[in-house]
Amino acid sequence: MFKGLMFCILTLSSLSVFSQAEDSLFIRKLADEILTSGKAYENLRVLTKNVGGRLSGSPQMYKAEDWGINALKDAGADKTWKQECQVTHWVRGAREEAYLIQDGKKKLPFKALALGNSVGTGKNGVKAPVILINSFDELELKKDEIKGKIVFYNYKFNPLFIKTNQSYGDAGKYRGSGPSRAAKYGAVAVLVRSMTHSTDNHAHTGSLSYNDSMPKIPAAAVGLKDADKLAAMLEKGTYSVYLRTNAMMYPDTLGHNVIGELTGSEFPNEYITIGGHLDSWDVAEGAHDDGTGCVHSIEVLRALKAVGYKPRRTIRIVLFANEENGLKGGTAYAAEAKKNNEKHYFALESDAGGFTPRSFGFSGSPEQLAKIRNYLPLLLPYGVYMINDGGGGADIGPLRQALNTPVAGFEPDSQRYFDIHHAENDVFENVNKRELELGAINMAALIYLVDKYGL
């Protein structure tokens, strides 16, 4: 129970007393720069309001790439470029239609949002009896009753996890593998309770992952109020549901990771990557997911340059393509790094929203973890009080796998993240300027310390 605080017994072996004071002053300068002249919030406004949702393969994806190049140039990057990759090209099509049928004819409509990468129902939709399934255990128990039905997974986002990403890890499998598991027993479509603690009725989309040995069936998310209503009715009676989704999967298409660099003064061929993903779901503005990660990363470069810091290693900002439904940007980035035999010293991702800072998660050797924890007292005044063992980000995962690069993930407070995650309300207005800026401060400070003192 007390392990979590052990990091606090600080030896600070790698920092002299002099440098502690100097670093503290330097980080204060970074903070002042970001709090008074920061561009993260305005960059985010332009990305969310002028570009908007930017699903891979959409026209907005290309517009976002141009936005990224310009924002990186404006921030002071020494060079910028687009790195080609093939990205998933899934299109939602016309908005979904869904209703429950009462007394054989009365239509009770509810909001359904097709899951990413799902197949469409065809223009006539699917009409079938619906079966309430609260867990995979229940699915197995009732496997003989599934055939020809629409399975409605009503597994609840567990409120007992204090960090909501743990609830997401717990519930996410119903969205990811639920459709194929239901198809195995003959289901014709799937509805999934949204993965959220929210108090509203927004449906939350996200990718599914079909098992190629099963038939691909349509699948859609349902908001919590509708899910509760459907569940209450299905506990008392039997009903059919009509569902029409209009999704289409096209062949992969051309996309790009958007990259900007500050060239290193001592080790220009050693890279520190800082990134978020540029793509988002189509139904909102992708503000917290992951506009904030993009503007955090750009702000790190801008602030370091603005205060006159000359990085020892090359600082590379990467706005990754296609995280949401393919991870093909992150995969291509790691493949190219490996092919070119690049030395990647460290990578940091922000893909957990632009909320108030709490911690970083780190994946590396125990010695590296101990060293990075030494930096905590310098972050504490800005809100980061812990560096967890384990963490990183989806887009930098392939880099860690390919090159064993130490990686970290920025971990802001998680309570509000799943209120907006993959839903219509992931908009600029739900991002707080100060919280966003504090994230950039902690990221910039960590990058400065790792660049200066190493890992």
Task: Give the binding site for a copy of itself (CB under 8 A).
Answer: 1-2, 4-5, 8-10, 12, 20-21, 24, 31-32, 35-36, 41, 159-160, 162, 164, 197, 199, 356, 358, 376-378, 380-383, 385-386, 413, 415-416, 419, 432-435, 438
Measured from the CB atom, the residue of 202 and 244 that comes closer to a copy of itself is 202
Give the side-chain half-sphere CA count within 13 A for 324. Answer: 26
Strand partners, 106: 102
Torsion sign over Cα 214, 216, 218, 223 = positive
**Total residue count of the chain as it appears in this document:** 455
C-beta closer to a copy of itself: residue 20 or 265: 20
Q: How far is it, in rounded angstroms, from Cα 341 to Cα 242?
A: 54
Q: Closest separation between CB of residue 206 and a copy of itself, Å?
A: 20
Cβ proximity to a copy of itself: between 17 and 340 the closer is 17
Q: How far apart are CA 37 and CA 189, in angstroms?
A: 51
Of the pair 4, 122, the CB lying nearest a copy of itself is at 4
Q: Measured from the CB of residue 395, what is the shortest distance to a copy of itself in angstroms?
A: 26
Nearer to a copy of itself (CB atom), residue 81 or residue 385: 385
- In 3D space, the residue among 354, 359, 380, 349 whose CA is nearest the CA of residue 435 turns out to be 354
383: amino acid identity, one letter: G
Compare residues 127 and 433 and give the one whose CB is closer to a copy of itself. Answer: 433
Q: How far is the CB of 414 from a copy of itself (least distance, A)?
A: 9
Minimum distance of a copy of itself from residue 1's CB (angstroms) = 5
Residues known to be catalytic: 323
In the complex, the smallest distance separating the C-beta of residue 303 from a copy of itself, rounded to whole angstroms, is 14
Sheet of 112-114, strand order: 106-109, 97-102, 240-244, 126-133, 150-153, 189-193, 219-222, 112-114
In our burial notation (b when 16+ CB lie closer than 10 A, e otherwise), range 180-191 reads bbbbebbbbbbb
In order of 100, 191, 196, 352, 397, the CA distances from 166 in angstroms are 32, 22, 12, 13, 18
Nearest distance in Å: CB 432, a copy of itself: 5
Distance (Å, rounded) from C-alpha 149 to C-alpha 130? Answer: 6
